[in-house]
Structure 1
């Protein structure tokens, strides 16, 4: 018999009074052993629970009382040892109601190998030893002599409950059909007689004992059968559902699974380490937002475990937690997992019927001890995974389940046997800190191994689209493939939704070229699904979303079997055990809120903003234009026109018919177009990353933006020239729609920017946001303007009118001035020579650095050649005339700055 001890009190009992219950029983034991006890003594620098002095020998002992449910950490023992040594008492005793953790067990085992004289300085009374001490001292009766009524199958463990109502023995009884504890009987701890007083039973059952959720019965009552309840609850243990075919929204079948090779390899490596006892971790979590393939990975892991290579090593069992109906769900899942493993021949059946102990020590029964010993001996591992576990936290009646599971987790962690408990956990949900689910998840954080899923890489997206091609049984148009890849942003759920949408359209007879020109807006797809439902099915969907997971029979009763059947056939709802859920968490959230998850945009436009805005201006007010008309208007070729059209589709401004080569605007007005553009760039992953890393209102350089781009697009292998083009293009766009301001090499974020503050300007008026210094005005003229601004002649319009526009532009490029209310102000702090300041700023620019280097290596080089070298080095698209102009201007600046007197 396994003996346990718990301090169990009513809600209104303070923690101080709770602790006294254990201290009181400790005092009684010590008194029997001829000790005089002083309680709650304050010694110099420390507090002790009990200080006892032997009446005959004068020996003084220090007693630490720990009324714990959880396992004890090693530091409790180290602290006790330190106190005994420092205070020079004869001995230190530890009385604990909680078992020792693995590190604490190691310390105790090591200590008890010492010689008797030394060992006597520390004595440890863990639950089993403490009860033996109490029985030996005649403070409680022997639990083996309890007067138990017939008709029950008693569990292997018996509990001594120290309560504010008295001391009692409590013995759980086992439900034979399920192999789990079902009822609990109460006995007087002194006499061993069964308690028949219903008030006392009710009082004890209302304390915070770990047996609270069991069915408390009187020994005088007739043994009642709960077989039907257990059968019903066992039906809630269902496997993770798999899709029937590729276009099913449920988790992917193993044969449809793509990608995640590294994380699967890492997980299996971890399984193997547990199997061979090469790791002490027994808890695992697969973490990711909704729709990133957590359930699909579990099905893939099960498939790999069933392979010829692994089927004798790993038994993998994954359950859909959304079907849970009671706090016993975790216990029942463990029993079902083990029974299935036995039935499938993975492990031999124990000599005795399989039984699970209490959640605080579920593997204490001899049947499970035998099973675990077999796993260890044969180097086999059983993995039980709870999928969608966090989904049930909203069900108030299931809150105790999380406490039960926490106890099971700590027990598995302490056992260090060949069993792994796993969870797939959604990272984009929130759980209140006062909920048991939060306590459970945080409580096991140091004991679990975590594997996080990332968005699909470009190669994984490509693999998924290759599979889509096979299902479609026709080659996907390369442009359509590129659009699907761009739209999905690497999100597995979004890629699947878009592919299934395209798949259905093609099966309905649409040509791929007709689909090419449509922006694949996920909100619109969800909206369309709901709009096509009759009112009764829509109401049913909304109710299931609100109650998810919803009771099948209740929904069927309220909305009719035909409605439920129709929604199941449409794959919009799924049945999991006795519960109903929507086919996707993301779809459920859309039904409830009308919103889809925020999807950062990662698409980089292929055309520059000036051409795009010209195209936007041209198309407004026209119902439809041809690609040829657009190309002729912008004076560009077919390739550039196609890029502009693709950009307009991706940024939500237009849609096109590739088959007819026509383009039409999705926005009726210029303001609508700008709002669409503004929304696109506000959601862009580059901007979000800059805000995340630098803060809202950031100020960065072009090089910092390049670093951000490289970080965001880490899987892309672009040449430096391409990176520079993308940096320039991104900044031009952000500046053109008012999200940033460019001052020379510095880009400043405008946190409260709005589409209302901008307009589509003619191409000639769109400023050049290069972030470089090109020397548009000579040094003496620029110095003159600095002096004018310093003297108070800082009106931009007046200076421009007097021919100083290029000098103003130079100062902005160098970040030497700031414009506010059409006034210019020098960005100068303190008293400094203007010439030295200008030279210092110019020397920091990459163009001047390059020109100085070029001139040093070839003194007689021509200015056009300098421009040509710069264009090649930095990727500038300059004509021959521009090369000559900028080569000359920058040469003037380079010679000026190098010829200035030192100091």
Structure 2
């Protein structure tokens, strides 16, 4: 029978008071042995609890150290041994209110085997109680009980009196307790005091009170009339998926990725098996929906394979079903019974008893099991999923913390694991806060991060196999990028796609689907009846408030038939006797009507002005082939460039594509700049880049911040640093166009982004003029550097379009060729004035014609921002000066010609 001493010194129950009160109890033992006791003395800075001198044997001194705490360390034993030896005490006594843990007990055995320390004694609770009985301080505990077994007895030494508190059970797990007077074993009849004692002792708080009635002329016996054994809560393991699109944790067949984390877990298990690590607890840290449950399910199933089945056995418990302290003993009982059933451990261990919820490993048979596992190199792994739910229940988390300490102190082949939702924060004023911090310190940490693109693509491949379709690279990129590395989101998107395909939607039409998370959740709810939505929200609210709907409540608060429909449609899952929503994120959405700020993710590659012009092309026809689009958007360039712009319009949801035809998704009256700006504004407000930029506070945002965001969020492709900067500048120009404000993005940074993307002329105006005159649609490109610059300038000004091997003059280009020299110049000048940098340069020179080329850069500094090289700044300034001068001279010449003609 396990024994323990519990100290209750005062109503306040402060730590130092418990120690002093225990010393008072120890005093009675040594006083009866004719020792004169002094308390709390110091030698050279070291404090001892009791210093005793024998009244009859002169000069005999002993040191007494009293520990009334939850757990001992080996260092405390070593410190006691040193103090007793160094200060030359004749005897030393170390008193503890519990049983010595395995590691401490092992050290004590080593000390006792050493003749140098034969004068040192270590007394656990059982020995202290034996001496208290011998001293007459308490009666010897004897209890005859025919129905219930005594699994543990507590001696409560309190300011209210001394009491025996037996913990009773009818099976493996304790169910009842009684309170008996310490001096005569009579039952305590003061119900109020019994409940006070129950509130004080954690491990009896969830047990039923069992009042003893001593029979005459016999030793105390608990009368077993009208004994009611309380129902035990249901403890279940997590379920695993039957298919890839099942919302339950992924089974081994459908589990993807996470190689690094799996290697860490099995590396830890192997280190424990080989006794190469001190810790016996691990935890998996990750955000909601990142696959913690799936990783644990994978671990459990891998332990069953040919390679591991004789080394490891794992149970993964769903912590959401936890109601009381009995949850942990029942979970331990579950893994023991499972191990016996699967012949992983001998059948005799099915007889293991659990003394109390705070001494789960206290039975001698559990200690034997620990040794057997070590000798056989086998490991039991008991894991608690959804562990944050344990810390929400005060009656459970204290018991768990004690279990964790006992597992670690045992240092055997029994491992404890748990998952933790990283976004859950326990307030510092909460009693569980410090226990959680200490729990983490005792545990080996495994962190789950976002999916990489290959892991996301593995989920997409499961979808492709299921629907017998092969997606093109653009669609795969859209799914991967929109999932942003969130495992739950890529799975949700793929399930959504399967659902739409099943409903008859073609894969081509899926490209334009809105992949915003809130839209996906709303789509789910639209499939349900009003009663089903009402029931779903009720179940979500109960789970959100840590009061999950129980099976016993069905048909009282919600119809059983409705719940079964929701389970069949995979909106609700059953865990033990409890009902919950399939995902915490969806549960929170149902309760709070909002989702975490995830946003949409897509990479904008094209300049905003060119995409806007492409949008306007649909004003001349709402359904266009690529050829018709190029005809109506004369600045679109070659077919490849035109397709890039159309792809951008599809990506942002303004254009559909089906069977070779591009169709605008808005009314013809909305094809204008105001609508485009408003639409892009709303779209970019939800963009993940925008949301991430707004998280940066307290400093100015620079371009490298945005580059890092793009690199993190775009999972489908890896880019060079310069490419990331270019995409960052493009995104900033879109934000500027749509008037989306980012508080810490300076105007100068926006300006630099626009300047980096806007057109800078490469050639002298007269060279361009000569080139336009000399070419035609049959012109053969020689691909020289000079020609490439002339082509770039001509295309930017809208005079021609070209591809790798052909050239076509635009309407402006053909008109320039047909015109007189002065008319040609004015056409080119007007085209050039539409370019932002040239326009700024023109305004500066027109305002002050006396400006010289050398100092011109000082007057156009706003459009030179973002040009880091001084040489390039000078070169750009010189080119812009020449073009500004060309336009002014052309306008003057043209005006004079008009005047002459008019004259």
Bin the TM-score by the shorter chain: 0.7 to 0.9
Segments of structure 2 that go 5 or more residues without pairing to the other structure are 214-221, 764-841, 884-903
Contact (CA 8 Å) 2:48, 2:65: kept in 1 or not? yes
Q: CA deviation at 1:53?
A: 3.9
Is 1:66 the counterpart of 2:67? The answer is yes
- Structure-1 residue corresponding to 2:847: 801
Partner of 1:420: 415
From the superposition, tell whether residues 570 and 114 of structure 1 become closer, same or farther in structure 2 (CA, over 3 Å).
same
* 1:272, distance to aligned residue in structure 2 (A): 2.0
**How far off is 1:239 after superposition?**
2.0
Distance 1:620 1:683, change over 3 A: farther
Per-residue CA deviations over 1:839-859 (Å, capped at 9, x if unaligned) read xxx9xx5565x99xxxxxxxx
The structure-2 alpha-carbon separation of the partners of 1:498 and 1:708, relative to structure 1 and needing over 3 Å to count, comes to closer
Deviates more, 1:128-137 or 1:539-548: 128-137
Look up the SS of the partner of 1:139 in the other structure: coil
Q: In the alignment, which residue of structure 2 is the partner of 1:278?
A: 276
Does the residue aligned with 2:664 lie in a helix, a strand or coil? strand
Cα distance in 2 between the residues matched to 1:456 and 1:355: 43
Q: 1:226 to 1:639 in 2, by over 3 A?
A: farther
Alignment match of 1:672 (pick from 674, 678, 693)? 678
The residue correspondences of 1:805-844 to structure 2 (distance < 5 A) are 806-810=857-861, 813=864
CA positional deviation for 1:551: 1.8
Cα pair 2:235 2:330 within 8 Å, conserved = yes
Structure 1 residue 525 displacement after superposition? 1.5
Q: 2:698 aligns with which of 696, 714, 724?
A: 696
User: What is the Cα deviation at residue 498 of structure 1?
Assistant: 0.8
Q: 1:750 aligns with which of 722, 743, 758?
A: 743
Counterpart position of 1:31: 31
Aligned length: 777
Partner of 1:448: 443
Q: Give 1:141 deviation, angstroms.
A: 3.8
Match of 2:295 in 1: 297
**Aligned-pair CA distance for 1:136:** 4.2
C-alpha displacement at 1:18, in angstroms?
3.6
State the Cα distance separating 1:137 from its structure 2 match.
Answer: 3.5
Distance 1:186 1:165, change over 3 A: same
Q: Check conservation: 1:8, 1:209, Cα contact below 8 A.
A: no
Q: Distance in 2 between matches of 1:450 and 1:140?
A: 47
Tell me, yes or no, if the aligned pair for 2:701 and 2:746 is still in contact at 8 Å: no
Q: Which residue of 2 aligns with 1:498?
A: 493
487-496 vs 709-718, which moves further: 709-718
Q: Structure 1 residues 318, 605: CA separation in 2 closer, same or farther (over 3 Å shift)?
A: same
Q: Deviations over 1:21-76 (max 9, x none)?
A: 212112222322333334456888676544444434245555443321x2123454
Task: Verify the 8 A CA contact 1:313 1:381 in the aligned structure 2.
Answer: yes
**Structure 2 CA distance for partners of 1:620 and 1:774, relative to 1, 3 Å:** closer
User: What is the aligned counterpart of 1:238 among 230, 236, 239?
Assistant: 236
Distance 2:155 2:93 in 1: 20
Change (3 A) 1:462 1:147: closer
d(CA) in 1 for partners of 2:204 and 2:311? 35
What residue is the counterpart of 1:7 in the other structure? 7
Q: Distance in 2 between matches of 1:738 and 1:800?
A: 30
- The one-character-per-residue Cα deviations of 1:618-668 (angstroms, maximum 9, x if unpaired) are 779997777666654342344334433444454x56352444422325998
Q: Tell me how far 1:166 sits from its aligned partner.
A: 1.4
Instruction: Say which of 365, 374, 384 aligns to 1:367.
Output: 365
Map of 2:772 onto structure 1:
none
| Secondary structure, counterpart of 1:284 in structure 2 | strand
Between the aligned partners of 1:812 and 1:238, the Cα distance in structure 2 is 67
The structural deviation recorded for 1:496 is 0.9
Is 1:458 the counterpart of 2:453? The answer is yes
In structure 2, the partner of 1:163 is: 158
Aligned CA distance change for structure 1 residues 94 and 628 (closer, same or farther; 3 Å): farther
In the alignment, the residues of structure 1 paired with residue 481 and residue 190 of structure 2 have an alpha-carbon distance, to the nearest angstrom, of 71
Range that drifts further, 364-373 or 481-490: 364-373
**Structure 1 length-normalised TM:** 0.76
On the 8 A contact 2:572/2:579 being kept in 1, the answer is yes
Query: Is the CA contact 2:290–2:487 (under 8 Å) kept in the aligned structure 1?
Result: yes
Residue of structure 2 equivalent to 1:180: 173
* CA 1:240–1:613: 2 relative to 1, 3 Å: same
* Distance in 2 between residues matched to 1:348 and 1:592, nearest whole Å: 48
Q: For the structure 1 residues 348 and 111, does the alpha-carbon distance in structure 2 shift closer, same or farther, using more than 3 Å as the test? A: closer
What secondary structure, in the 3-state scheme, does the structure 1 residue paired with 2:475 have? helix
Residues 1:211 and 2:204 aligned together: yes
Structure 2 residue 147 is matched with structure 1 residue 151: yes
Q: Kindly provide the CA deviation profile for residues 530-551 of structure 1, in whole angstroms up to 9, marking residues without a partner as x.
A: 2343322222111111111222
Deviation at 1:562, TM superposition (A): 2.4
Give yes or no for contact 1:263–1:451 (8 Å, CA) kept in 2. Answer: yes
What is the alpha-carbon distance in structure 2 between the residues aligned to residue 621 and residue 581 of structure 1?
Answer: 54
Any conservation in 1 of the 2:38–2:51 contact (CA below 8 Å)?
A: yes
| Rounded Cα–Cα distance in structure 2 between residues aligned with 1:334 and 1:81 | 36
| Separation in structure 1 between the aligned mates of residue 181 and residue 203 of structure 2, nearest angstrom | 19
Could you say if the C-alpha distance between residues 619 and 98 of structure 1 is closer, same or farther in structure 2, counting changes exceeding 3 Å?
farther
Q: 1:456 to 1:254 in 2, by over 3 A?
A: same
**Aligned counterpart for 1:402 among listed residues 390, 397, 404:** 397
**2: distance between equivalents of 1:775 and 1:738?**
30
- Mapping of residues 222-237 of structure 1, within 5 Å: 222-223=223-224, 229-230=230-231, 232-233=232-233, 236-237=234-235
CA distance in structure 2 between the partners assigned to 1:226 and 1:272 by the alignment: 47
2:242 match: secondary structure: coil
Deviation string, structure 1 residues 338-363 (Cα, Å, up to 9, x no partner): 10111121111117723222233322
Unaligned runs of 5+ in 1: 741-748, 777-795, 816-841, 852-862, 868-877, 886-903
Change (3 A) 1:239 1:699: closer
TM-score scaled by length of structure 2: 0.76
Q: 2-side partners of 1:373 and 1:682: how far apart?
A: 54
Q: Which digits, 9 at most, give the CA deviation of each residue in 1:528-587, with x for residues without a partner?
A: 222343322222111111111222332432232222222222221122221111111111
With over 3 angstroms needed to count, the CA separation of the structure-2 counterparts of 1:444 and 1:537, relative to structure 1, is same
- Aligned residue for 2:501, secondary structure, equals helix
Aligned to 1:605, the other structure's residue is in SS state: coil
- Residue matched to 1:609: 608
1:768 maps to 2:755: yes
Q: Is the 8 A contact 1:49 1:65 kept in 2?
A: yes
Q: Deviations over 1:573-607 (max 9, x none)?
A: 12222111111111101111122222266543221
**Which residue number corresponds to residue 778 of structure 2?**
none
Q: Does the Cα contact within 8 Å between 2:202 and 2:395 map onto a contact in 1?
A: no
